[in-house]
Amino acid sequence: MSDIEEQLRPRHSRDEEKADIYDEDGSIRSDFRALVGAAIADRDVLFLRKEVAHLHESEMGDLIEAIQPDQRLALITLLGDDFDMTALTEVDDAIRLQIVDQMPNEQIAAAIGDLDSDDAVYILEDLDEEDRDEILAQLPFTERVRLRRALDYPESSAGRRMQSEFVAVPPFWAVGQTIDYMREEEGLPESFTQIFVIDPTFKLLGVVDLDRILRTKRQVKIETIMRETNHPIPAEMDQEEAAQLFEQYDLLSAAVVDEGGRLVGVLTIDDVVDVIQEEAEEDLMRLGGVGDEELSDSIPETSRSRVPWLLVNLLTAFLAASVISLFEATIEQIVALAVLMPIVAGMGGNAGSQTMTVTVRALATRNLDIHNAWRVVRREAGVGLLNGLIFGVLIGVIAGFWFHDANIGGIIASAMLINMMAAAIAGILIPLLLDKIGADPAVSSAVFVTTVTDITGFFAFLGLATWWFAI
């Protein structure tokens, strides 16, 4: 069995869906971790080359995250040229920064020269300017120009995420000539699925998918089989917007052009998949009231990132408390109200969260817009009314029996109905309004919605009780 075969063997046994460095939970197997840890401690380069060097970049990334922090740089240094820096694009930001900060700039420069430009930019963009310049200065001219140009585009833009390596041919070439060119040219990108057609000034004319080339006779001219690129992506476009184009039009890759319509790079679906994943996570985290924290953040960092949201909530909690304090006299006489009032506020808060979640998702996927907003508002109000009736009656009966007082049952039932309606309307109008004025509905809706439901809940319940019992 050849070396290569042996390396590949454990990774494609038919029954295993995952390479077997993973246990069934999808974490790195602990015996493998231990073996690697021991090999690093023993500086056993032979073992590492044999068992670790061949790992896929994402497996290597997982391994780096799994081993002891102080062993990470050692692993990379021991592997030397066998270490593919692409793996660093697969680890947490904090861990990558830690590792890169410890590496001498010469080592980074040497390693980065072999990377695709998008991966190189990913690693360079987090470094401080001084280190970055030092590393760039050690790269060959074309490489340096490419990376500098990509780094000049704004963060999170298509220009940052694009790959500067691509295949481009003039329109008058024949299919045969194009194939011959690809057979001989050494400097082609590592992998590609389409080739671009450009004029002498690099203006983008069209695109040809590789399967189209393979189906076409040698003498046919490229310009007759190219298709117009309906969706060239301006380099300044935000990566999230670019991702939406990919999703909508099922693109595999797309040309990135500068203001003059000149081809500067290509954005590929694998980078876009990461963007989609990140954006979806961002929405989730924002709705939960946390920023873009990572599990590897320290306690003070994490605490700091969560305090602002809690602070806002503190203010609104005092607002709600001050509503309660208006009714101190009523509570003093009927303590049952104090027992029951959190139920009204809490149920309203949950109903509001439901509506808000649906609204935020619909806004993110562009399913909610001016045309159907009115219909959706009516629907939510209807749902609020229906659920308000159901839960109003339910709570009213339970509370009435609990405190042997039909009045209290009737009051809490009415308050619940009012609050469920308020929850529905706040749950949809607040995110819509925030979106309209350009704020991110995911980040700020929750606090406003629960404020509305808390205040409405306390006010309706205690107010109705005060009026009914004429206290």
Residues 260-279 that bind a copy of itself (CB under 8 A): 261, 269-270, 272-274, 276-277
Query: Looking only at residues 121 through 180 of this chain, which bind a copy of itself when binding is defined by CB under 8 A?
Result: 179
What are the tokens at 333?
């006489």
Quick check: 297 and 94 in contact, CB under 8 A?
Answer: yes
Bridge-based pairing of strands 168-169 and 263-268 is: unpaired
Q: Does 310 bind a copy of itself (CB under 8 A)?
A: yes
Q: Does 390 bind a copy of itself (CB under 8 A)?
A: yes
Nearer to a copy of itself, 83 or 403 (CB): 403
What are the tokens at 212?
């189209």
Tell me how far apart the 2 most distant CA atoms of the chain are, in Å.
Answer: 96
Among 34, 137, 252, 433, binds a copy of itself (CB under 8 A): 252
Strand-pair partners of 227: 207
Strand-pair partners of 197: 169, 206
Query: Looking only at residues 232 through 251 of this chain, which bind a copy of itself when binding is defined by CB under 8 A?
Result: 232-234, 237, 241, 244-250
| Binding mask of the shown chain, residues 340 to 369, with x at each position contacting a copy of itself by CB under 8 A | xxxx-xxx--xx-xx-xxx-xxx--xxxxx
The least distance separating a copy of itself from the CB of residue 112, rounded to whole angstroms, comes to: 19
Q: Does 440 bind a copy of itself (CB under 8 A)?
A: no
Phi (first) and psi of residue 286, to 5 degrees = -65, -40
Nearer to a copy of itself, 45 or 317 (CB): 317
Quick check: 443 and 304 in contact, CB under 8 A?
Answer: no
Kindly give the residue spans of alpha helices, DSSP state H, lying in 222-261: 222-225, 239-249
The least distance separating a copy of itself from the CB of residue 94, rounded to whole angstroms, comes to: 12
Q: What is the rounded CA–CA span in Å between residue 15 and residue 9?
A: 13
Q: What is the rounded CA–CA span in Å between residue 317 and residue 325?
A: 12
What are the tokens at 40?
């690093």
The least distance separating a copy of itself from the CB of residue 137, rounded to whole angstroms, comes to: 31
Bridge-based pairing of strands 263-268 and 253-257 is: antiparallel
Amino acid code (one letter) for 281: E
Quick check: 267 and 162 in contact, CB under 8 A?
Answer: yes
Query: Looking only at residues 34 through 93 of this chain, which bind a copy of itself when binding is defined by CB under 8 A?
Result: 56, 58-59, 65-66, 92
Nearer to a copy of itself, 135 or 459 (CB): 459
Nearer to a copy of itself, 133 or 180 (CB): 180
The least distance separating a copy of itself from the CB of residue 207, rounded to whole angstroms, comes to: 11
Among 117, 157, 164, 216, binds a copy of itself (CB under 8 A): 216
Nearer to a copy of itself, 2 or 104 (CB): 2
Quick check: 226 and 249 in contact, CB under 8 A?
Answer: no
What are the tokens at 275?
């963007």
The SS3 call for residue 233 is strand
The gap between the terminal CA atoms of the chain, to the nearest Å, is: 91
Q: What is the rounded CA–CA span in Å between residue 98 and residue 341?
A: 50
Nearer to a copy of itself, 21 or 139 (CB): 21
Query: Looking only at residues 321 through 340 of this chain, which bind a copy of itself when binding is defined by CB under 8 A?
Result: 321-322, 324-325, 328, 331-332, 335-336, 338-340
Alpha carbons within 13 angstroms on the beta-carbon side of residue 169 total 26
Number of residues that bind a copy of itself (CB under 8 A): 135
The least distance separating a copy of itself from the CB of residue 265, rounded to whole angstroms, comes to: 17
Q: Does 30 bind a copy of itself (CB under 8 A)?
A: yes
Among 210, 406, 433, 471, binds a copy of itself (CB under 8 A): 210
Q: Does 444 bind a copy of itself (CB under 8 A)?
A: no
Bridge-based pairing of strands 204-209 and 194-198 is: antiparallel
Applying CB under 8 A, the span of 73-81, 97-105, 117-125, 288-296 interacting with a copy of itself comes to 288-296
Q: Does 228 bind a copy of itself (CB under 8 A)?
A: yes
Query: Looking only at residues 407 through 436 of this chain, which bind a copy of itself when binding is defined by CB under 8 A?
Result: none
Applying CB under 8 A, the span of 23-31, 41-49, 98-106, 146-154 interacting with a copy of itself comes to 23-31
Q: Does 119 bind a copy of itself (CB under 8 A)?
A: no
Applying CB under 8 A, the span of 35-43, 97-105, 143-151, 231-239 interacting with a copy of itself comes to 231-239
Nearest Cα residue to 177 out of 211, 220, 209: 220
Query: How many CB atoms within 10 Å of residue 434?
Result: 20
The least distance separating a copy of itself from the CB of residue 379, rounded to whole angstroms, comes to: 6
